[in-house]
Amino acid sequence: MPGRFCAQPDGQGAPAVLYEKRDNIAWVTLNRPERLNAYNVEMRDELFEILSAIYDDPEVRAMVLAGAGSSFSTGGDVTEFGQAPSPTAARWIRFRRDVWGRLRNLPVPTIAAAHGFTVGGGMEMVLLCDVAVAATDTRFCLPETGLGMIPGVAGTQTAARRLPFGWALDLCITGRWLDARQALALGLVAQVVTPDALNRTAHRWAVRLSRLPREHVAIAKLAVWEGLNGTLAAGLELERRLANRIALMRISQPGGS
């Protein structure tokens, strides 16, 4: 799908994340194919800036998150592990820019287009998107616990909310591999297609979802995510308040009733 990428590198070489607006759809492409799109500080910073631009751009009505090269993403770049001057500095760098919170809270539908290795933080990025489409060659895994860590890109929380609880626990602890068909059966992805059809399929999803009112999408996402943080009664009360907000928005619009 041809188009011009808007992002420009700050230094030498290509940018770590490519960003393009195709009409009212934002295409965000992880762009370290030589490292299987493992994310480093540069990629994290660029991704935060791009997601923030999408958040603030009322023209954007949907977003596709994809990966360049042979894989979607293999998670954190292990060559950067331990390079921070101290654990305190590492935490400050991480929380200064809440990339993953920004991705989850985007007020537009988000579609992940996964292919190849979608591992660790790569799988967790898919879990943070609203809808995922996978190529038949996609392989999912959360290996962090076996490496002396835990899934740290919200994986322990999103897996338990997006997947059957037993499977979420299994995947977070065992590092079990899933192929695309298993991911479809579990509800991790909504559709499996051939690799050459992946971008076209993700684009069709984005076009269809982009027709929804941006404000209504944002409120629906808020209701679903925040409703999981309390009791059913609290969730129903939240739903009622948000439904009333939409009703008032419609009344205040010209021609509303």
Q: Which residues are catalytic?
A: 124, 144
Q: Which residues pair with 89 in a beta bridge?
A: none
Tally Cβ neighbours within 10 Å of residue 25. 22
- The structure tokens 């998150």 sit at 65
In the numeric block, the tokens 């933080």 are attached to 121
- Encoding tokens for residue 118? 């979608």
Q: Which residue in the block uniquely carries the two structure tokens 């596709």?
A: 64
Estimate the crossing angle of helix 232-252 against helix 214-227, to 10 degrees: 170
CA distance 178 to 118: 10
Cα distances (angstroms) measured from residue 221 to each of 110, 138, 161, 214, 245:
11, 26, 13, 11, 14
Residue 142 CA to residue 59 CA, distance in Å, equals: 35
